[in-house]
Amino acid sequence: MPGCCRRRGSPVTDAIHRLGILGIVFIVGSVAVWMMLLILIPHLMLIDYAFHANPGAIAKGLADEGFTLYSFRPLFDPEDDLALRTFIRTLLTSGVITVLALVVCYPIAYYLAKVAVAKWLHILMLCLMVPFWVNEVLRAYAWRTLLAKQGLLNQLFAWLGFGPVEFFNYELPILDANIALFVGLIYSYVLFMVFPMFTAMESLDKNQIEAARDLGASWVRVHRKVVIPHAKPGIAAGCIVLFMLTAGSFIVPVLLGGKSSFWFTQAIESQFSVLNWNGGSAYALVLELVCIIFVMVMMRVFRVTLRDIAR
């Protein structure tokens, strides 16, 4: 048949044939405008503010006009290390929360991908997604109510004969973060860990798992040698997204954080609230750079590329 033997054109040629020149121009132009207005221009403004001192400091003679690192100084001030300690604590806590979320979500993703039957899979997925149809603020308030001293969980503990647990005041060692903050952050972003791993595991041929079991491999060895290597892109994507969302979270630390659980995003907000846009931009830029470094480290550790993660 002549139609069967006809060569396919390049993707660009096919797109022009289907959408026309005007359609291609509209799509590319829309994406370009979106990128310019929401990504490029805001980042250029952020960089410009970060590398210039605020007008008040210039007026007092504390900083010079033009290009300067003055706005970054509070992060490295030896006399007042509050900003630096807050920054380090936020990163450490975000890393621990990412690891805990991975431990919690891995079995869930594997069960959904390889164990759950099709009849129940949609119901289980719906059960995971429905709570996230509610606004994040309301979900954080719900956890605040559940974990309160007179909340539902402490009432359950009292009925079982245990004393109340101070979820908001019990600070975990080293991290200075309370239990409520850990629970709230893991719950808020759990889907961003489950779905990438689920997608990666779903493409794994179940026969490989059964073959490994038939050859005498234990379940631990099956996961270590078969499942985890195949799911590396999903694990890397989940860890990257969850770490960045956790480090950049604001409302959950505000509502669930304890006395010393001051988050770095709160420090950024405090700079903008006193109209120190230069200081807030410098803090935000440092946090963004660290997140980019974290992405590169995770790609190196899992030996994956951006194409693998984006699948």
Quote the pTM value: 0.85
**First-to-final CA distance of the chain:** 35
Share of the chain above pLDDT 70, in %: 91
Following DSSP, what letter does each residue of 129-184 receive, concatenated?
A: HGGGGS-HHHHHHHHHHHTSTTSHHHHHHHHTTPPP--TTT-BPTTT--BHHHHHH
CB 227 within 8 A of CB 294: no
pLDDT of residue 258: 66
pLDDT of residue 3: 47
Residues 6+ apart with CB under 8 A from 206: 114
Residue ranges of domains in the chain: 81-309
pLDDT of residue 8: 55
Tens of pLDDT, residue by residue over 8-50, are 567 777 777 787 778 788 888 999 999 999 999 999 999 999 9
Rounded distance between C-alpha atoms, residue 54 and residue 169, angstroms: 37
Amino acid of residue 260: S
Tens of pLDDT, residue by residue over 121-169, are 888 888 888 888 888 888 888 888 888 877 888 888 888 888 777 776 6
**What CATH code is assigned to 81-309?**
1.10.3720.10
pLDDT of residue 26: 86
Rounded distance between C-alpha atoms, residue 36 and residue 93, angstroms: 33
Tens of pLDDT, residue by residue over 76-108, are 887 778 889 889 989 999 999 999 999 999 999
- List, in sequence order, every residue forming a beta bridge with 171; answer none if it has no partner: 178
Say which residue, 205 or 306, is predicted with more confidence. 205
Tens of pLDDT, residue by residue over 226-236, are 999 999 999 99
CB 247 within 8 A of CB 91: yes
Pull the structure tokens for residue 128. Answer: 């995971």
Neighbours of 203 (CB within 10 A): 12
The residue among 10, 190, 8, 7 whose CA lies nearest residue 103 is 190
Residues 6+ apart with CB under 8 A from 167: 147, 148, 153, 178, 179, 180, 183
Tens of pLDDT, residue by residue over 227-270, are 999 999 999 999 999 999 999 999 888 888 766 678 899 999 99
